[in-house]
Structure 1
């Protein structure tokens, strides 16, 4: 048994750390205790119950996966997602006990990605990072031989802006003029210290630190269209298709890594950004958690007119985005979809208004701006926004209450 694998087992949670997670789930209690005890003593014994324990862990993963996919994801109990995530980790260890071939490590890497996408690994972040590093270094998937371009920094252009522009506002100024006033604003010179502004222009850097991760990709012009779909793909394949040499193909689908918690999945990228201090201003007594989302795609990606329930700070790393806004007071005039899934999305095309089909849009006051590298757009809750990438683009959004 190799030394690297044995070192990894030391990061696994012991049963005493898991008791509060499984709570009243009798089946999960039995399986995870058995797995935790077995792996805690792996250096001293390899008993005959190993195969059966591994089988039970796999069954727990399958059962938890089914529970996660029953009903709406937002209603899945956190305990179920934690059980799924740690069961996936145990499953990986039992698979590695069988074999540590490159092909086996690649299979385990995909299980780890599933654990991060569907489960909750926040309590075991050190284990996650170490396991990811171990699997990536020994996998069969060869690094891409394709060299991706290094994007040229965009030259800042003068553009009309229908909302206030504030140059690196202080916390007090932001709180008064934006947060409390419910006023969208374009914030300038607030993220110039981010290493991401120059590092991420080299797409080979993204390929190196993130290429082997599996992420959900949106396929199609926008999520409200009939041809829209989603797929789980390796980031290296996504980058190659959307930014590589063959992007001139006429039948090339537009793909978008949208609204994804990439930075909890890949810690190296999180080190290239920082949460703006503006996100510490809260409606309550203390600031809440900040959700960090990634948006990466080629020119032409579109988020149709929609709103978010939280405060939103959209930060542009590279590329530019044309944005159209409308106030919450105009909600009825924007023709929201009637389905629950799209209730926060308008049926109108904000870029090409059709007053014959949607006559109430004539009453709407729209606000337009161009979001350029280094800019941040503050959006109060329920403000409608349409977003179109004018160039290959990477944005980071921070949502908080």
Structure 2
């Protein structure tokens, strides 16, 4: 994941958005509380004093950084914001370089150190009068933070400062032009032999009908409510104006794990301008994906555009998690299964989903492995275009193909295998239960 150029995001006048305010007491208290709660444990691990540090790994971050963080916190407590920012920025650079060099942080303390200095830098930016930069640093912490104190602190910055940051961004009049397509590509239609495997689309079920359908533990396709997102998100300018100033984790490249594939933390504006807009005008060779990201928690301004339907709420309650999937044409999520029941809603653009029942697992050549395959939930087979010389048993697999258009929702029970490919630039939202 490449490091974003925060200083260049808005130009050299970024720090001049407004005169320097007094530091918001809630933000100062939140960072101080987080440092008091989380830093002592991380500090001990960084210095090699904890049991966690006894694991025999190469230490990516020098123990001397613990003292540097102490000095940055002393400057923060003294409200010497220039000195605090200088010290925290140097620590952040060291932590980021370790992430890049080792393709991931080796210990919890390494990630916690990075998130803490991001939030210290957010506080420094706020103190210097730059809500935009403060929110960007909070985004940097949010992207890496699981539920808990770090995420809560990042979201507090966003809640208190993002309105000002967004207004400053909108005033610059640099919106991205373009819109998502109304029709799928001409070559996207299923063949006659494939069409018999398609699921029939049904109207949006009532709560009683939904209960009965869920009991079957089979996929079903239906129409979702007329969300505001159906009209609003069609325009790239709308998305840019509301969240173009925010930082997001983007996957760049068509094949996950390939030499050309990489992850970057980039401004949403750049993601829209360099990848989505060209893909909306014509099919390009550049593939980019904001995949399985909690965008609506990070950017609450979009949350009201896609409310959870009342019938789902009545039957199932609130979702466990809601993810955004935004990308160019040709993005591909490999064949896998989820441990959650999944409502996949197509909001803009078109996608094709290949579905296989749990009992088809024996034909999917799944290997027990470490890392992302540790659950045994990822198949190496491209189920739309299988290499039968390499995976001959897959020839006997039963695959159901489903084409999703704007307004469609596909329910996939937990344990069902699915592979998802974008036929056009696309926005999907999935609700896990």
Task: Give the TM-score normalised by structure 2.
Answer: 0.71
For 1:196 and 1:397, how far apart are their aligned partners in 2? 14
Q: What SS class does the counterpart of residue 12 from structure 1 fall into?
A: helix
Deviation at 1:331, TM superposition (A): 1.0
CA distance, structure 1, for counterparts of residue 281 and residue 236 of structure 2: 18
Query: Are 2:225 and 2:407, in contact at CA under 8 Å, matched by a contact in 1?
Result: yes
Q: CA separation in 2, counterparts of 1:60 and 1:89?
A: 12
SS in 2 for 1:336: coil
Match of 1:182 in 2: 217
Aligned equivalent of 2:157: 127
Say if 1:224 and 1:304, in contact at 8 Å, map to a contact too: no
Which residue pairs with 2:336 in the alignment?
306
Match of 1:153 in 2: 182
Are the structure 2 counterparts of residues 6 and 307 from structure 1 closer, same or farther at C-alpha, using a change threshold of 3 Å? same
User: Secondary structure of the residue that 1:11 maps to in structure 2?
Assistant: helix
Structure 1 runs (4+) deviating above 6 angstroms are 1-4, 28-33, 62-77, 79-83, 246-251
Equivalents in 2 of 1:241, 1:62: separation in Å?
Answer: 26
- Structure 1 equivalent of residue 209 of structure 2: 173
Within 5 Å, give how 1:210-249 maps onto structure 2.
210-223=243-256, 225=258, 227-244=260-277
Aligned to 1:317: 347
Instruction: Work out which of the residue numbers 392, 396, 408 in structure 2 matches 1:375.
Output: 408
- Tell me what 1:191 maps to: 225
Relative to structure 1, the CA distance from residue 2 to residue 226 in structure 2 (aligned partners, 3 Å threshold; closer, same or farther) is: closer
SS state at 2:140 partner: helix
Three-state SS of the structure 2 residue aligned to 1:394 is strand
Distance 1:267 1:310 in 2: 24
Structure 2: distance between partners of 1:222 and 1:131:
37
User: Deviations along 1:278-335, whole A, 9 cap, x unmatched?
Assistant: 36756xxxx6762111111222222222222211110000112111100111112111
Partners of 1:247 and 1:272 in 2: how far apart? 21
**CA–CA distance in structure 1, aligned partners of residues 345 and 105 of structure 2:** 26
Tell me the equivalent position of 1:331. Answer: 361
Deviation sequence 1:166-202 (CA, Å, 0-9, x none): 4222233323322x332111122x322x100011111
Does the 8 Å contact 2:353/2:402 carry over to 1? yes
Q: Where does residue 299 of structure 2 map in the other structure?
A: 266
Tell me the number of residue pairs that the alignment of Structure 1 and Structure 2 aligns.
377
Check conservation: 1:8, 1:131, Cα contact below 8 A.
no
RMSD: 4.1
Please state how far the C-alpha of 1:163 moved relative to its aligned partner. Answer: 3.8
Cα pair 1:160 1:368 within 8 Å, conserved = no
Q: Partners of 1:299 and 1:2 in 2: how far apart? A: 36
Secondary structure in structure 2 of the residue aligned to 1:25: helix
Distance 1:382 1:292, change over 3 A: same
Query: Is the alpha carbon distance of 1:212 and 1:241 closer, same or farther for their aligned partners in structure 2, counting shifts above 3 Å?
Result: same
CA–CA distance in 2 between the matches of 1:35 and 1:175? 57
Residues 181 and 191 of structure 1, relative CA distance in 2, 3 Å threshold: same
CA contact (8 A) 1:85 1:121 kept: no
Residue equivalent to 1:42: none
2:29 corresponds to: 14
Residue of structure 1 in register with 2:321 after alignment: 291
CA change 1:182–1:64 in 2 (3 A) is: farther
Q: CA deviation at 1:116?
A: 1.9
One of 114, 134, 137 as aligned partner of 1:111: 137
In 1: Cα distance, 2:105 partner to 2:415 partner: 19
Q: Distance in 1 between matches of 2:424 and 2:336?
A: 21
Is the Cα–Cα contact under 8 Å of residues 349 and 405 in structure 2 kept in the other structure?
yes
SS class of match (2:378): coil
TM-score by length of 1: 0.76
Range that drifts further, 7-16 or 166-175:
7-16
Equivalent residue number for residue 425 of structure 2:
392
CA-CA distance at 1:6 after TM superposition: 3.1
CA 1:357–1:87 in 2, change beyond 3 Å: closer, same or farther?
closer
**Structure 1 residue 121: deviation in Å?**
2.8
Residues 1:397 and 1:73: Cα distance change in structure 2 (over 3 Å): farther
- Compared CA separation, residues 96 and 354, structure 1 to 2 (3 A): closer
Q: CA 1:19 to 1:167, structure 2 compared with 1: closer, same or farther past 3 Å?
A: same
